[in-house]
Structure formats: structure tokens, C-alpha cells
Amino acid sequence: MEKQIESQGLSRRKFLKVGGGITFLVTAVGLPALVFKKGEIGESKQISAWVHLASDGTVTIYNPASEMGQGTMTALAAIFAEEMDADWSKVKIEDAPVEPEIYGIGWGGERGGSMLTVGSRSVSGHYNNLRQSGAQARYVLLSAVAEKWGVDRKELKTDSGLVFHPKSNKKITYGEIVEFVKIPESVPEIPDSELKNPKDFKLIGKDYQRYDIPFKVDGSAIYSGDIHVPNMVYAAIVRSPVNGTQPELKNETAIKNIKGVLDLVSLNHGIGVVASNMETALKAKAMMEITWKGDPKAKSHNSQDAYEEYEALSKSSKTGSIVTQSGDLNRELPKAQKTIRADYKNDYIYHAQMEPLNAVAHVKADSAEVWVGTQASDGTRNDVANHLGLDFKAVNLHTCYLGGGFGRRSMTDFVIEAVDISKAVNLPVKLQWTREDDLQYGAFRPISLQKLEAGIDQNGNINSWKHVVIGTGGGLLGSGADIPFYDIPNKLIEVRNIDHGVRTKHWRAVGHGPNKFAIETFVDEIALEQKKDPYQLRRELMKNHPRELAVLDKVADMAKWDSPVQEGRARGIAFAERSGSLAAGVCEISLDRSTGKIKVHKIWGSLDGGVVVHPANAKYQMEGSLVMGLSSVLFESITFKEGQVEQSNFYDYPILRMEDAPEEIILEIIPSTEKPTGIGEAGLPFMGAIISNAFAALTGKRLRHMPFTPEKVLEILSS
């Protein structure tokens, strides 16, 4: 079978094309030169682009994705180690070099796309490639042993870092193979039939610890701000308070005279100060007096007025971009027996990753070196190279741990700033954003108004569904607006956009947060209006979608949905998909009616993520995303006044604290043999709706504008 495949054309050329990732591919893109130089090899060898094997048995696997807390550096290595049959206790994980030709993935999971860690796509995107690459590494080892022992490769078996030949009872460790392993001229694509049978998996779907955690309990994990380079200087920047305005520094001499200030660097959007130490850079930044020039679009943006602008746009006869259209809504909706309408709103929110943006850059005459925690490693390399007019290969990018990303760190604005300043002063520079910089020069999850309308037919069924999302941020608005799992014959889902000239960006789960809030709250409103149980209404709507139904049923079962709730408490339920994963949640809340504070006691969550590579971590990602989601739902709001962000730090942009965390979070993953889907955001989208739905069950009043701050709650209660 395998021979046949080889003869069918897994030639070197084809192999290169499919990007199997072994030897010649490695040399082709110039990975460490030590690999194939005999005599310089020392005690270890790189046996494919993905793995380095040492004679003591240490297996170093390259991590192709950014590690920002989601834990995929462990899961990805586990997939590879599974098929290589490596001894997990001897596995080390290092970041892969920035070589998207090898380590990148396309949106369909094809090899050679980008090394962009977004959209919960790392495990789902790399799954097949890493199984294949791991199996190929195993093939290389088996071939070497077969030749050495003069036996048929197919008679050899492996077991966690050991090759053995049952017929002769010979065995050898992977580490011992290093001495004689040769990389074959061609390595075949291993057919699926020769990959591990999932029932033999030792890692995939099993319990194992995260690789990064020990480094995160003693301060030894390295984030980019932790980097020190000889002769490094420190930089801070005052950036335009209104996006698009340009700076004019009024007190240049005074700033330059501050002891320790080395230089000032003018940028389009701000002024950088370079100093011999961090304190001086930050002090000088605070002392700069700047006049901001220009009259950009953002200057006229007042976010509290935006909802009126959206309302007006919703009445325009001009259609926006259509997310989904089916049946004939314009014909059917007017014929409905009953029409139900509701509007939902959500303010801008900020990423608030705990590590404020920072980067270290050293621009030299014809090269650049950059240290950064980024979600876009090749994108950063490319942007830096293009910005400086350098070849990609002249940019040496060192990836670091990210102190949170959530979408903010897939932008490269902060890296380009560090590069500009380093170039200007001709020294290595550590650029540090303050929290205020990070917040006020943020790029936010867009504000939106969501107008929903449902037509109920004479049988009490939802016959028509109209959902118009109106907001800013263009393409960020539509994600999650579709509801393919709810069988409603006539649907029109549409996005309308107004550009306010302010910065917006993907924020964990993107549009799914606001859109699922609106959709799933609206379903609840329809249920109450129709005197139906909201869980049962969803069951009816998704009766032809067994996977979705199973997830919903699971969470209802876990939460004992039909059982009575403790006095003073109520439950809410919702369903949401994200990145292919299906999730449902139930929460139990109570309310302090004097302060307006909502207390979340329990959250139950169910998840179908296909094959789950690292279940313990998958659950933890779901826990994290629903806690972060809860934070956004209860507390978070960015407002603009004349284009300027009104908040500045955690005192006026509070995020959830320990006292507001749910008392208990109970999660279950539904076993599946379907292909893996993205898990890192799946717990977030349903959060707005479960809280709003529980609140309605508790009070009979409806929260339709996120965040549900105590002030808003009190206002709703007294309405």
C-alpha cells in the first residue's frame, strides 16, 4: 500500500509541495545548519522540520502557534507526539521558527498558510498535519532501525519512545537511534490507515499537564517585556487621543533636558521619548505637552449618540450586507399572526489583556531583530520587513509568551512603533505601553444595535426571522449572526455599517458575543411571549440538528433545568456555536435589588468540539472564556466623547474580580469522533443571553443593553 503510494508520485517534488516537513524541506528553507552536518551534530539530530531528537531520548517538538494562555503549545505537541509515539515524559516544546511555509496553516487546515493564532483554529487547523508529520517522523526512525537490523520495517513496532522487533525480541530507544539515523531521500505521506487507531491513543483525548505551567509559577516564563539586550534603551509614546490627529510637541526643550532622556522620536500618531531607564521614559511621557492637529472623522464620534445613528440607518431602504437569506421574508413577515420585536445594544469593549503591549526591537543597517509576544508571527515579520524595506529573511523575530492576546496581539502596530524608534536612535529599544496607552489607544470590539423581528404563524411557530446588526467595524459585526441550526423557513440576516473613524478589532469570539446575546435573548423573549419553556422552544427549533440538540439537552440535564430553583434565584439557558464548536450554557443567578448587583452562583456548560485533544485544558478554556464573557457582560464599557476614549485604567474600566466569579462552574464535553473544532472561545458567546434570560426569569424585566451594570439594572427594575 505504502509502496504504491510512493510509486504514485510522492516524489521529492510532490513531497515538497504537500509539505511533509522532513529533511530536504528543512534544508530548503534553511533551518538550523547543524542538523545535517556530521561531526557538528553532537548528541542530537533534527529528524524532521517538526522535531529534534537527542541521544538521551529528549524529543523537542516545535510549536507552530502563539501561546497566549490557550494551552495549544501542549495540545499541538501532543498530537505530533501521539503519532511519533514519543515518550511524553521526554518531550520538550519550543516555538517553531517563523517559517509559515512549514508551520503555517490555511483556513481550511492546509499546510503553508500563515502562522496566525486566531479564531480558535490552532488545534483544529493543525490536527491532520501534525498527525501526519508525527507519523512521518516515526517512519524515519523505523526505516533507520529496519536498515540497521536488516529487517522489514513493517515488522517493527513502537511504544512510547521505544522501537521493538517482536520476532527477534530486539529493542532500541529513540535516543539510541540518533547515532545512526539517516534521513531517507523521500518520506511518503503516511496513509490514514497507518495512522494510530484512536482507540490506541495515549495522549489525544487523555489527561496530561500543560507544558507551560511550571514556568508560570516561578516567574521564569519569558514575555517580551522580560527581554534584555545589551545597550538597550527604553521608550514610551504619547499617542493621539483622537484617532487620526497629529502631534505638535510644545515643550521639546524641557523634555530633552530631563536627566536620562536620550532622544525624542516623532511618529505620525504620536511622539516617542527614549531614555536610559524605564522610569525616566514614563516620567518624560507624562510631562509632554502636545497639541493635536487635524480634524479626522473620529472627532465627531460620540458613542452614546451612535445608537440613534444606527436606529436611523436601520430605517434606510438601502440594504447592507446579507449574512443569510432564505425563504421570502418580505412576503411572509407581514402575513404573520403575531410579530415580536426587540432591540439589543452592546457598547464597545476593550481587550484588557493583563500584559500591556510591549516589544523589543533592534534595527541595524540591513537587518532587524524583534522580540515580541504576537498572535501573528509571520505577519509581524512581514510587516516589519515591508516597513523597513528589508527582505523577510533579514528580520529575525523571536517569539515570546503572550500575557493574553484575545485578538489585540494579532495587530502589529506596537511592533512597528518599536522598530521606528529603534531605527531612529540606532539602538535596541524596549517599548513599553502603559495601561492607559493600552486602553486609550485600544482597538475595540464594536458597538452595535441589533434589531430583531420574528413572525409567528397561526400554529404558534416562528415562521419568519429578521435580524439586522447595525454598528461599526465592518466585517467584525457579522460573525455569529447566522442561525443555521434553527429551522425557520423565512430568514433575513443583515449587517449595516457606519465607519466612525475609530479603531476596532477582533475581540475573543468577535461578533459572536453581541450577536448571540441578541439572538439567544430574543429566542427567550419569544418563548415567554408564547408561554413556552425557552429550553423546549430551542429543542423544537433544532429538532433536525442532532449534534446541537445533544449539546442543549446535555446542559439542561446537567443543570436539572426542570427542577425548582432555590428561592430568590433563577436560571437562564442559551445555545451558541463558535469556530465550529457547539456549546450551551445555563446559569443560576440572584440579585441584590437595592444595589442592582447581579450575583452568578453557578454556570453549567456543555461542549461538542469534535475530537478533543486535551480535554482538561479544553474545559479550562471554556471556563476561562465564560468568566471573561461574564466580565464583559456585567462590567465592561468603552465610551467615546468627540472621538476620545473616556476610560483610562481599571478604576473606570473594571474587569471581573474574584468576588464576582461564579461560585461554581460545571462543564462537560460530549464525546465525539468528528473532526476537531475550535474551543478557545466557545464558552463566551452565550454568556450575555444566559444572564439576561435568568434575570428575566427572576424579575420579569429584560436586560437588553450590555453591560448589565448595577446602574442599568436599577433603571430596568424601576421601569
CA 113 to the chain's CA centroid = 17
Tell me which residues in 409-438 interact with other proteins (CB under 8 A).
432, 434-436
# chain residues binding other proteins, by CB under 8 A: 68
Strand order in the sheet with 233-239: 261-267, 270-275, 233-239, 429-432, 358-363, 368-372, 395-399
Q: Of 157-165, 278-286, 489-497, 510-518, which segment contacts other proteins by CB under 8 A? A: 278-286
Give the Cα separation of 437 and 630 in Å (integer).
25
**Residue 371 backbone phi and psi in degrees, to 5:** -115, 125
Confirm or reject binding of residue 601 to other proteins (CB under 8 A).
no
The answer to whether the CB of 714 falls within 8 A of the CB of 659 is no
Strand order in the sheet with 59-63: 44-48, 51-54, 59-63, 91-95
Q: Tell me which DSSP letter residue 675 carries.
A: P
Give the Cα separation of 186 and 181 in Å (integer).
14
Q: Of 99-107, 209-217, 336-344, 362-370, which segment contacts other proteins by CB under 8 A? A: 209-217
- Smallest gap, in angstroms, from Cβ of residue 686 to other proteins? 15
In sequence order, what DSSP letters do the residues of 268-303 get, joined into one string?
A: TTEEEEEESSHHHHHHHHHH--EEEE---GGGG--H
- Smallest gap, in angstroms, from Cβ of residue 48 to other proteins? 29
Confirm or reject binding of residue 280 to other proteins (CB under 8 A).
yes
Give the Cα separation of 490 and 313 in Å (integer).
23
Which of 381, 299, 417, 314 lies closest to 100, judged by CA? 381
- Smallest gap, in angstroms, from Cβ of residue 387 to other proteins? 26
Reported as type and span, the H/E element at residue 425 is helix 413-425
- Smallest gap, in angstroms, from Cβ of residue 278 to other proteins? 4
The answer to whether the CB of 158 falls within 8 A of the CB of 138 is yes
| Among 9, 219, 230, 700, interactor with other proteins by CB under 8 A | 219
User: Looking at beta carbons only, is 176 or 226 nearer to other proteins?
Assistant: 226
- Smallest gap, in angstroms, from Cβ of residue 649 to other proteins? 6
Confirm or reject binding of residue 212 to other proteins (CB under 8 A).
yes
Instruction: State whether residue 215 is helix, strand or coil.
Output: helix
The set of cell numbers assigned to 561 is 433545568
User: Looking at beta carbons only, is 61 or 281 nearer to other proteins?
Assistant: 281
User: Looking at beta carbons only, is 497 or 647 nearer to other proteins?
Assistant: 647
- Smallest gap, in angstroms, from Cβ of residue 664 to other proteins? 8
| Among 218, 253, 315, 563, interactor with other proteins by CB under 8 A | 218
User: Looking at beta carbons only, is 69 or 514 nearer to other proteins?
Assistant: 69
- Smallest gap, in angstroms, from Cβ of residue 203 to other proteins? 16
| Among 44, 58, 70, 120, interactor with other proteins by CB under 8 A | 70
- Smallest gap, in angstroms, from Cβ of residue 457 to other proteins? 42
- Smallest gap, in angstroms, from Cβ of residue 408 to other proteins? 11
- Smallest gap, in angstroms, from Cβ of residue 322 to other proteins? 35
Using alpha carbons only, how large is the chain's radius of gyration in Å?
28
| Among 27, 42, 215, 546, interactor with other proteins by CB under 8 A | 215
User: Looking at beta carbons only, is 57 or 403 nearer to other proteins?
Assistant: 403
Confirm or reject binding of residue 217 to other proteins (CB under 8 A).
yes
| Among 169, 220, 563, 566, interactor with other proteins by CB under 8 A | 220
Give the up-direction half-sphere exposure of residue 507: CA atoms within 13 A in the CB hemisphere.
28
The contacts of residue 685 (CB under 8 Å, 6+ apart) are 480, 509, 512, 513, 515, 516, 517, 576, 577, 578, 583, 629
The set of cell numbers assigned to 322 is 446579507
Beta partners for 347? none
Confirm or reject binding of residue 359 to other proteins (CB under 8 A).
no
Confirm or reject binding of residue 252 to other proteins (CB under 8 A).
no
Confirm or reject binding of residue 404 to other proteins (CB under 8 A).
yes
- Smallest gap, in angstroms, from Cβ of residue 68 to other proteins? 6
Site residues for other proteins per CB under 8 A: 68-71, 209-210, 212-223, 225-226, 228, 234, 259-260, 277-280, 282-283, 352-356, 401-406, 432, 434-436, 616-617, 620-621, 623-628, 631, 649-651, 655-659, 661-662, 664-665
